[in-house]
């Protein structure tokens, strides 16, 4: 499966298929984004632009995890703790905080939620605001570019309201400095003007709760991290927990799915609810067209196979990563940049999206020298792992 991308080539079109094919081979072919603009701005005004479309493969997993939440995703978010499956210890701590704050008539402590993408950090922030009966304002670290942006968000809050900052590790250092007194003393000092005319205007803020979410807790500065009253780390879900999520989501979208079908979707979701819901949406479409809107295990298997998601939750890019590591670099060790170039992907995407799952499942490992393929990776490709002296392979 993949998006469609438009390409252009210049030449004189005679109306024949043979000419189109020969022109395409002979001329420079390149992708374009705006076909109409390409035609208007052509450097060959007498030669029409030939447009054609090809299907381009996509990376399903990274697209699902990197994309902003869709209305479909938001509609499936549980509104209360008793509907939230998984992360039991985290939910118990947060529920206790809510009850304690309500009994004191106080506001919640500042909370930091960390963990891989797609595990429910944003959902928990909204559940906390709902449990406290307060409003929540949602923003992200990269969008707060100036102190005035932060001041506008904070001054619009009322007592007890929640300010949720996603990707908080991407806040600029200057913005962090403004955030420290706001979190500790509920005050904000805004600098007006410059040079000798510069002056500070203190603003008193209502007591609020800051909930930060990050996929890279190690990139947070120590002063910011220590100002959170509670630090919660979210881990990957088990197949049984994801099965509950799939069954609940299927009921919300009107899909009839049995336990075996739900488990099939859950087992291929890489321990991530966002991926599970995305796969479920595809299974719903497949079942609606080919299975009378009823998803059994076989139907789910056929749907996900059509999407190139195998029984281990691998998509095309995961398989290409293992193939490159084993065939091109003889099982490693190899640096992340070389590995990324070899498969045409970004090093950050490999580190944040693909590697955590492959390491967790025992397919690869990180060493000071680079990435190394483990025996499970060779078995995945139907190969026998070589014996290496002084390594975990034995020998």
Catalytic residue among 274, 284, 320, 371: 274
Does pLDDT of 30 surpass 70? no
Residues 382, 387, 393, 395, Cα dihedral to 10°: 150
Catalytic residue among 9, 73, 77, 166: 166
Mean per-residue pLDDT, 230-254: 91
Q: Model confidence at 15, in pLDDT bands (50, 70, 90)? A: very low
Does pLDDT of 371 surpass 60? yes
Which pLDDT score is estimated for 128? 93
Q: Model confidence at 389, in pLDDT bands (50, 70, 90)? A: low
Does pLDDT of 157 surpass 50? yes
Helix (H, G, I), strand (E, B) or coil at 4: strand
Active site residue 166: yes
Which pLDDT score is estimated for 71? 62
> What is the spatial distance between Cα 78 and Cα 127, in angstroms, rounded to a whole number?
8
Does pLDDT of 100 surpass 60? yes
Catalytic residue among 9, 123, 209, 215: 215
Which pLDDT score is estimated for 233? 93
Q: Model confidence at 243, in pLDDT bands (50, 70, 90)? A: very high
Residue pointed to by tokens 């060790």: 333
Average pLDDT, the chain: 78
**Residue of higher predicted confidence among 278 and 47:** 278
Q: Provide the token pair at 21.
A: 């094919």
Does pLDDT of 325 surpass 50? yes
Does pLDDT of 323 surpass 70? yes
End-to-end CA distance of the chain: 42
Which pLDDT score is estimated for 354? 79
> What is the spatial distance between Cα 190 and Cα 197, in angstroms, rounded to a whole number?
14
Catalytic residue among 77, 121, 320, 380: 121
> What is the spatial distance between Cα 377 and Cα 384, in angstroms, rounded to a whole number?
10
Q: Model confidence at 362, in pLDDT bands (50, 70, 90)? A: confident
> What is the spatial distance between Cα 97 and Cα 322, in angstroms, rounded to a whole number?
44
Phi first, then psi: give them for residue 37, nearest 5 degrees: -65, -35
Which pLDDT score is estimated for 377? 81
Mean per-residue pLDDT, 333-340: 84
Active site residue 274: yes
Which pLDDT score is estimated for 64? 60
Mean per-residue pLDDT, 193-199: 72
Judge contact between 261 and 299, C-beta under 8 A. Answer: yes
* Sheet strands side by side (includes 136-140): 136-140, 162-166, 209-214, 111-114, 230-233
Q: Give the gyration radius of the chain's Cα atoms.
A: 26
What pLDDT, in 10s, does the model give residues 39-85? 444 444 444 444 433 333 456 555 565 555 556 556 778 888 888 98
- The strand ranges marked E within the chain are 4-10, 30-32, 49-55, 111-114, 136-140, 162-166, 187-192, 199-204, 209-214, 230-233, 256-257, 294-295, 364-367, 370-373
Lowest model confidence (mean pLDDT) among 16-20, 64-68, 178-182, 295-299:
16-20
Which pLDDT score is estimated for 201? 76
Q: Model confidence at 290, in pLDDT bands (50, 70, 90)? A: confident
Lowest model confidence (mean pLDDT) among 115-124, 137-146, 330-339:
330-339
Active site residue 214: no
Q: Model confidence at 38, in pLDDT bands (50, 70, 90)? A: very low
pTM summary value: 0.74
**Residue of higher predicted confidence among 150 and 22:** 150
Which pLDDT score is estimated for 60? 57
* Cβ partners under 8 Å of residue 334, min gap 6: 325, 370, 371
Which pLDDT score is estimated for 95? 93
Which pLDDT score is estimated for 208? 92
> What is the spatial distance between Cα 335 and Cα 344, in angstroms, rounded to a whole number?
14
Which pLDDT score is estimated for 390? 53
Lowest model confidence (mean pLDDT) among 18-22, 127-131, 196-200:
18-22
Which of 350, 354, 329, 330 is closest to 340 using CA atoms? 350
Does pLDDT of 21 surpass 50? no
Does pLDDT of 125 surpass 90? yes
> What is the spatial distance between Cα 114 and Cα 102, in angstroms, rounded to a whole number?
25
């Amino acid at each position: 499966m993949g998006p469609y991308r438009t390409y252009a080539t210049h030449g004189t079109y005679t109306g024949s298929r043979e000419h189109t094919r020969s022109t395409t081979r002979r001329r420079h072919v390149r992708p374009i984004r705006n076909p109409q603009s390409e035609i208007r701005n052509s450097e060959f005004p007498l030669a029409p632009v030939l447009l054609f479309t090809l299907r381009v493969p996509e990376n399903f997993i990274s697209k699902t995890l990197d994309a902003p939440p869709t209305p479909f995703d938001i509609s499936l978010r549980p509104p209360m703790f008793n509907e939230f499956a998984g992360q039991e210890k985290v939910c118990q701590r947060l529920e206790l905080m809510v009850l304690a704050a309500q009994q004191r008539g106080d506001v919640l402590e500042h909370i930091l939620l960390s963990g891989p993408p797609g595990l429910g950090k944003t959902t928990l922030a909204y559940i906390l605001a709902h449990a406290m009966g307060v409003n929540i304002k949602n923003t992200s670290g990269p969008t707060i570019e100036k102190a005035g942006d932060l001041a506008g968000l904070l001054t619009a809050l009322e007592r007890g309201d929640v300010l949720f900052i996603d990707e908080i590790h991407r806040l600029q250092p200057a913005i962090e400095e403004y955030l420290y007194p706001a979190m500790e003393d509920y005050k904000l000092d805004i600098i007006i003007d410059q040079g000798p005319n510069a002056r500070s205007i203190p603003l008193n803020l209502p007591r609020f709760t800051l909930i930060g979410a990050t996929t890279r807790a190690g990139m947070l500065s120590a002063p910011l991290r220590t100002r959170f009253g509670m630090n919660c780390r979210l881990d990957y879900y088990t197949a049984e927990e994801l099965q509950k999520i799939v069954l609940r989501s299927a009921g919300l979208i009107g899909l009839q799915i049995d336990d075996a079908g739900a488990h099939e979707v859950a087992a291929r979701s890489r321990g991530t609810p966002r991926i599970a819901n995305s796969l479920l949406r595809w299974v719903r479409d497949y079942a609606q067209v080919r299975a009378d809107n009823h998803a059994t295990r076989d139907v789910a298997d056929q749907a996900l196979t059509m999407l190139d998601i195998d029984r281990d939750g691998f998509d095309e890019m995961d398989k290409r990563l293992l193939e490159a590591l084993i065939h091109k670099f003889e099982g490693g060790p190899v640096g992340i940049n070389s590995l990324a170039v070899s498969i045409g992907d970004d090093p950050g995407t490999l580190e944040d999206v693909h590697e955590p799952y492959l390491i967790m499942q025992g397919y690869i490992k990180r060493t000071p020298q680079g990435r190394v393929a483990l025996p499970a990776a060779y078995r995945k490709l139907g190969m026998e792992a070589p014996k290496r002296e002084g390594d975990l392979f034995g020998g």
